[in-house]
Each structure stands twice: as C-alpha cells, then as structure tokens.
A and B are shown apart, each in its own frame.
Chain A
Amino acid sequence: GAVVSQHPSRVICKSGTSVKIECRSLDFQATTMFWYRQFPKKSLMLMATSNEGSKATYEQGVEKDKFLINHASLTLSTLTVTSAHPEDSSFYICSAREEWQGAYSSPLHFGNGTRLTVT
C-alpha cells in the first residue's frame, strides 16, 4: 500500500515553455502533499506543501508564481513550472503520507520523480 505515482518521469522542454508534473496517491487519500527539488549530489530541498482545497505553502526563497501548485482533489497534486529556464533543470519529487489517527506520524512516501531538462 501507500503508493505515490508521479508523471512524467522525464521531460525536456524549451526555455520559456511551461511544464506540468502530476502526483497521485494511488491507494490512500492525502490532504497534504509535498514537493521537493534535488540537484545532483545534493540533499532534498522542500519547495512547498500542497494542501487540498487551499493554497500551497511555499518555503522561503521559492517563487510561487513560477512554481504553481494545485491540489484539486484528495489524490492529486500538480506542480507547474512556468516559463521554464535552464536553471530550473532539476529532479522534482513529490511525496505524501497517509493520515493515521494516533500519536505518531506515518512515513512519507515518494513518487519516482521527474527529471526536468530545459534547453
């Protein structure tokens, strides 16, 4: 259980275009999903927390107008990189956790990631 699906796995786009990445929780509902970015040989960097039915919460330094997040349902969040530039090339990973009742947190489950290359 607790599978997170992310598409596409790889995308190449031209500078100035927009790219949409989808993240779905396949067998559980997630009111909250998380978007990470990772550069080669670097650690995960949380970009934003996606909240179903409300606005996403962006981390400091992340441009909300550039990285548009929509969490339209309990199983789907999307990240749109608008007017992409070569410096946006990176590995984008979404994640979600099942919401347990109890004193302890359930683990985070990651999608397979999207490797974005902007030419």
Chain B
Amino acid sequence: QKEVEQNSGPLSVPEGAIASLNCTYSDRGSQSFFWYRQYSGKSPELIMFIYSNGDKEDGRFTAQLNKASQYVSLLIRDSQPSDSATYLCAVIRRNNFNKFYFGSGTKLNVKP
C-alpha cells in the first residue's frame, strides 16, 4: 500500500466550476499535510497546508482534512484555465519532519 494515494486523473471541469481533488494516506501518525501545484515543465509550488481536522480556506482554495477517514482534499472554487496543472499531495508523519511522502499527483484540466 502506498503511503499517499491520489487519482491520476485527468480531472476535467468547466471554467467557473468547483474542482475537488482528493488524497488518502495510510499512516494514522501523519500530522502535517500539504498541497502543491506543478505546471508542466516546472517545479512544484506550495498552495497551502493543513494540520487540524476541518477546513482551511485561502482565497479560492480550501483544504479539508479528515484524520479519522485518513483523507485530505483540496477544493478550487471558480476554477480557471490557469489552474490546469498537476496537484500533488504530501504528508508528514509526526516522528520525522524530514520525510515528505508525495502522492503521484492528479492532473486537472479546466476547460474554457
């Protein structure tokens, strides 16, 4: 079982819709969760992070964490074509802050 799993996609949504990206993780000791966006040919850039159960909002982005079910989601409201990219989920366990477990990413296509 992989540490972090994401649906590879592509996930296609029309412009203006809400895109919902999901990530599940295997270790219950995981405590820090990160979402990155990676455009084709570029390096990943941090979107947001979440530590506590519930929702965390930053502009058009909302991260949702459910530790009981071991999943973390990223919602993108009012999706724009410029949001088309691969979204990576990363997880850290509480006993090693230097070990980031990355999912393989979900490719998002936002169609105009």
Considering the complex, which residues of chain A in the window 48-98 have a beta carbon less than 8 Å from any beta carbon of chain B?
Answer: 49, 91, 93, 97
Are B92 and A105 closer than 8 Å at their CB atoms? Answer: yes
The minimal Cβ–Cβ distance linking A69 to chain B, given in whole angstroms, is 15
Residues of A within 8 A of B (CB-CB), count: 22
Q: Within the complex, what minimum Cβ distance (angstroms) separates A61 from chain B?
A: 17
Residue in A6, A91, A104, A110 whose Cβ sees the most chain B Cβ within 10 Å: A104
**B31 close to chain A: CB less than 8 A:** yes
A104 touches B42 (CB 8 A): no
Q: Does B25 contact A (CB under 8 A)?
A: no
Q: Is the CB of A32 within 8 A of B44?
A: no
Q: Are A108 and B104 in contact (CB under 8 A)?
A: no
Number of interface residues of B (CB under 8 A): 23
Residue contact B45 to A43, C-beta cutoff 8 Å: no
Selected contact of B42 from candidates A32, A109, A113, CB within 8 Å: A113
Of A34, A43, A113, which is within 8 A of B43 by CB?
A113
| Chain B residues at the A interface, C-beta cutoff of 8 Å | 31-32, 34, 36, 41-46, 49, 51, 88, 90, 92, 94, 97-98, 100, 102-105
User: A32 touches which one: B41, B43, B51, B98 (CB < 8 A)?
Assistant: B98
Among B32, B44, B104, the residue within 8 A (CB) of A110 is: B44
26 A-B residue pairs with Cβ-Cβ distance under 8 Å, sorted by A, are A6-B43, A32-B98, A34-B98, A43-B88, A43-B104, A43-B105, A46-B100, A49-B98, A91-B41, A91-B43, A93-B43, A93-B44, A97-B98, A103-B94, A104-B31, A104-B32, A104-B51, A105-B32, A105-B97, A106-B97, A107-B49, A108-B46, A108-B90, A110-B44, A113-B43, A115-B41
